[in-house]
Amino acid sequence: MYDYEREINLYFELKGSPESTRESYRRRIKAFIQYINEQQKEINDITDTDIQQYILFLKKEKDLSPGTINNYISGIKFFCTNVLDKEWNKRKIPRMKKRQRMPYIPPKEDILAIIDSTTNLKHRAILVLLYGSGLRVSEVASLKISDICSRTMRIRIDNAKHDTNRYTILSEMALKVLREYFRRYFYSKPYKPEDWLFPGQKEGTHITVKSIKNTVIKLRDKLLFDKGISARTLRHCFATHSLEMGVEPVIIQQMLGHKRLQTTMTYLHMTSKSLMGIKSPLDGGPK
């Protein structure tokens, strides 16, 4: 890995890729190189068959989901084409077909119960942004102080997924929690607008995605809620509950940062039809 790290970092620097993308690719490329080394093969001599065997290893031995395996394939393809300068044969190395699974969407009361159950003000501020603004976990983790604008009630998200920038809403409740959090953590020390809103344990870093995910899992388990609830669930609930409130899908698309409206429209399948004023023919119509 160390022989190729400079070239990988140079490519990402030239492209201007966000740090979340860099970390994801580095981690998966490192795992692939380790596998090849364990097979006692030279990385420059890898073949399509080697890559195919690695994908089968991820599927059968690691029991990874198709979506996760596709992420590994993306990392390997990047490494082979941009670092090793090899041809990529997509016929022999196809992406796996993902199984469409409906995420679990709990009622709003459960989400509010999770938020209310934490006594940690920093965690509470993170949770209200996940649910109140529909942010991805990685986006909340990497927010800067200057990204929050109380005058326009907007949050700016820079260098998001697909290398996009956007704005989303800032809820009044979230602003109230953020002000309380800011008074406790920032007023007693000097800070700059470009500082991380949620600093990590190491100086100069922001809170990790894993830390946020673990926080939600601990709160969920403490309340004995469904195991399907995760940090990402709060973003799903933002979209679903917004649809139930009558917000236009195209507006939700913009706030979530989806490239295609079709992605946003999948949340229609997760809404509670009773909250949208739809009656079953068993309950309505002429007698």
Print pLDDT tens along the chain (287 aa). Answer: 456 788 888 888 888 877 778 888 989 999 999 999 999 998 989 999 999 999 999 999 998 889 899 999 999 999 999 999 999 999 999 999 877 677 888 999 999 999 999 999 999 999 999 999 999 999 999 999 999 999 999 999 987 776 678 999 999 999 999 999 999 999 888 899 999 999 998 888 999 999 999 999 999 999 999 999 999 999 999 999 998 888 898 999 999 988 888 888 887 777 776 666 677 676 766 65
Cβ partners under 8 Å of residue 227, min gap 6: 220
Q: Within a domain: residue 88?
A: no
Phi, psi (rounded to 5 degrees) for 77? -60, -45
Query: Cα(268)–Cα(249) distance, rounded to whole angstroms?
Result: 9
Q: Within a domain: residue 92?
A: no
Contact assessment for residue 267 and residue 240, using Cβ atoms and an 8 Å cutoff: yes
Q: Within a domain: residue 280?
A: no
Cβ partners under 8 Å of residue 166, min gap 6: 156, 157, 160, 254, 255, 257
CATH of the domain at 37: 1.10.150.130
Q: Within a domain: residue 93?
A: no
- Domain count for the chain: 2
Tokens of 118: 């934490």
Q: Do residues 56 and 181 both lie within one domain?
A: no
Q: Within a domain: residue 95?
A: no
Q: Do residues 119 and 12 both lie within one domain?
A: no
Q: Do residues 123 and 76 both lie within one domain?
A: no
Among the three residues 49, 83, 117, which one is the final residue of a domain in this structure? 83
Tokens of 287: 């007698």
Q: Do residues 178 and 128 both lie within one domain?
A: yes
Q: Do residues 73 and 131 both lie within one domain?
A: no
Q: Which residues are 206's β-sheet partners?
A: 199
pLDDT of residue 12: 86
Q: Do residues 149 and 66 both lie within one domain?
A: no
Q: Within a domain: residue 94?
A: no
What one-character DSSP code corresponds to residue 59? I
Q: Within a domain: residue 103?
A: no
The helix-helix angle for 19-38 and 66-78 (nearest 10°) equals: 90
Q: Within a domain: residue 284?
A: no
Q: Do residues 224 and 138 both lie within one domain?
A: yes
Residue with token string 């994908």: 55
Q: Do residues 129 and 48 both lie within one domain?
A: no
Q: Do residues 143 and 267 both lie within one domain?
A: yes
Cβ partners under 8 Å of residue 271, min gap 6: 240, 243, 244
Q: Do residues 50 and 151 both lie within one domain?
A: no
For 64, the 3-state DSSP assignment is: coil
pTM of the model: 0.72
Q: Do residues 187 and 239 both lie within one domain?
A: yes
Domain span at residue 259? 108-274
CATH of the domain at 238: 1.10.443.10
Q: Do residues 10 and 140 both lie within one domain?
A: no
- Within the chain, strands assigned E span 148-149, 154-157, 166-169
